[in-house]
Amino acid sequence: MEYNALFIGSSTKDIIMLVDAPPESDQRISASRYTVSLGGVASTAAAAHQKLGGSTAMITIVGKDETGEYIAADLNARHYAWLQLLHTDKAPSSISMIQVEQNGKRCITHYGGCIKEMTFERLDLSALPHSRFLHLGVMNPDLMLRLARYCKEETNALLSIDGGNISKDLADELLPFADIFIPDHKTAMKTLGLAPREACSYYVEHGAGFAAVTAAENGVVAYDGTDWYQAPAIHVNLLDTLGAGDNFHGAFLYAMSQDWDMNRRLFFSNIFASLSCEGLGGRSAAPSLETVLKKMEEIPSGNYGRIV
């Protein structure tokens, strides 16, 4: 069987609360709403890719605990085209406590747990030779580097890397392997001290075949070494930006599998990610393919495309 993309990385149980403002030290506050959902960089991207109709493969890991049972039940219910669910008793499952403010900003307390127990030797990479893309979320740096090298030396898959929260040193090592490297603007500023356009230049000059930087309400800017592109954010009824970047990745790989031109890929992905911010949690408002395509028809094409 052929797969559009293989996603490797974390799956996390997210406990999300809607609050007026996060608490100060030694303060108790009340939430107006809460939800529990499956999150994680790779898991959210994979779910977005599958929802749009992509043939999706995934490798992730859980601990042998109640949280792991919750994550496993959710993943198995999604019926991915291919799934390797690793288990470990050496560390608890990944979990996040997230406080979302009414303006969409959020505070996250994350416990990575068992993701550090995912090792190259435990991975079943039999789906990779049949995948058009390999997408890596943040995990053990050595594992990311081994997977990147294996992808380029042993397969014909294109390598996509979520650059969010990756250090400059690790990014510099990964970039020569990356066909697609996309971080968020906060990571670009924190690690490079550069605005999105300058950061894209840096990533391509250091080896990436294509780079984009997502910038929330300022949309996305991208560079392929020759041409520059941009796509604006769209107006939505903003509730929660959790998972927006991960949703962008999943949508972008789906768009690439359709062989659309770069303008359409970025525009499509930005709309998908923007609409996902209308719900609490990264998945609850993820739109259908039909909804995204209809929204694209409503926005003048002059608002996005190739720039100089």
Give the pTM. Answer: 0.95
Q: Report strand pairing: 158-162 vs 131-136.
A: parallel
- Is the CA virtual torsion 282, 285, 290, 296 positive or negative? negative
Q: Report strand pairing: 106-111 vs 94-101.
A: antiparallel
**Per-residue pLDDT reduced to its tens digit, 218-277:** 899 999 999 999 998 888 898 888 899 999 999 999 999 999 999 999 999 999 999 999
**Structural tokens at position 97:** 């406590």
DSSP 8-state symbol, 279 = S
| Least confident span in 59-63, 176-180, 224-228, 238-242 | 238-242
**Structural tokens at position 208:** 């990436």
Confidence bin at 308 (pLDDT 50/70/90) = very low
**Per-residue pLDDT reduced to its tens digit, 65-121:** 999 999 999 999 999 999 999 999 999 999 999 999 988 788 999 999 999 999 999
Kindly report the backbone phi and psi dihedral angles of residue 137, in degrees, each rounded to the nearest multiple of 5, phi listed first.
Answer: -90, 180
Whether residue 307 is predicted with pLDDT greater than 80 in this model: the reply is: no
**DSSP per position, 144-203:** HHHHHHHHHHH--PEEEEE-TT--HHHHHHHGGG-SEEE-BHHHHHHHH---HHHHHHHH
Instruction: Write the Ramachandran bin of 59: left for phi over 0, alpha for psi from -120 to 50, otherwise beta.
Output: beta
